[in-house]
Structure 1
Amino acid sequence: MTAKRVLVIDDEAVILEVIQGCLEELGGMGVLTAASGVEGLQVAQTALPDGILLDVSMPGMDGLEVLRQLQANAVTRSIPVVLLTARVQPEDRAKFAQAGVAGVILKPFDPIALADQVAAVFEWTL
């Protein structure tokens, strides 16, 4: 089976590094990274990853706007998206549920469990 490729979009370089290491080393996934929403949209359209992990809180274009643009683009609309967020209020959860995402992973996350958590949300077998 070919390794799944995940695009991680997060404005925090340390978070990108941690997620990349966890998914590659513990999950055997290929990882692409983007440090902004604009960059993430470009990478998603050209690389066509199997799934996207998207930070909600980013400067400039936030994760929900990135999600809207991914869903509006015929090339990227079928790529499943999982939101990464520290927002856990009921109104935030309701907004995320209505946004059409594959799931939500809360920050801070457990690095050891992250690959399994990502695979479970995307319904992939590692």
Structure 2
Amino acid sequence: MTQLKVLQVEDDLDIQEIARLSLETIGGFDVLQCSSGAQALEKAQDFAPDVLLLDVMMPEMSGDVVLGHLRNLDGLEKTPAIFMTARAQKPEVEELKSLGAIDVILKPFDPMELPGQILAALDRA
């Protein structure tokens, strides 16, 4: 089986580090992290991710806007997207799923569970 490629867009460097360690060490995933939507739009096509892991609340460009832009890039139109957010109310989760997300992972997340949550979401998609 090929290594799962995850593009994570997250502006919080502490969360980036925890997620990277979790995804690479526990999940064995190939991870590209971007600190902004603009950086993600610049690097996403060359990386060709299998899944997008997007923070919702970021300066300049929120995760839902980033997803909209990524969907316009060749090869990323149907890449599964998972949002990460601290705003866990049911209406927010439903809205994110209506934008095409296959799942919403709540912050704070459990680093030991994160790779499994991503794989489970991909299996359900």
Q: Which of the five TM-score ranges fits, normalised by the shorter chain?
A: over 0.9
Take 1:70 and 1:32, find their aligned partners in 2: how far apart are those partners? 15
TM-superposed CA distance for 1:4, in Å, is 0.6
Instruction: Write the deviation string for residues 31-84 of structure 1: whole angstroms up to 9, x where unpaired.
Output: 111000111122212211111100000000110100111123333112111000
Alignment of 1:11-30 (within 5 A): 11-30=11-30
Alignment partner, residue 4 of structure 1: 4
Correspondence list, 1:99-118, <5 A? 99-118=99-118
Flag structure 1 segments of 5+ consecutive residues without an equivalent.
none
Q: How many residues align?
A: 124
Aligned to 1:41: 41
When the two structures are superposed, what TM-score results if normalisation uses the length of structure 2? 0.93
Query: Could you tell me which amino acid in structure 2 is paired with residue 97 of structure 1?
Result: K
Give the letter for the 1:118 counterpart.
I
Deviations 1:6-31 (A, max 9, x none): 01100011111110100111111111
Counterpart secondary structure, 1:39: helix
Unaligned ranges ≥5, structure 2: none
Cα distance in 2 for partners of 1:26, 1:123 equals 18
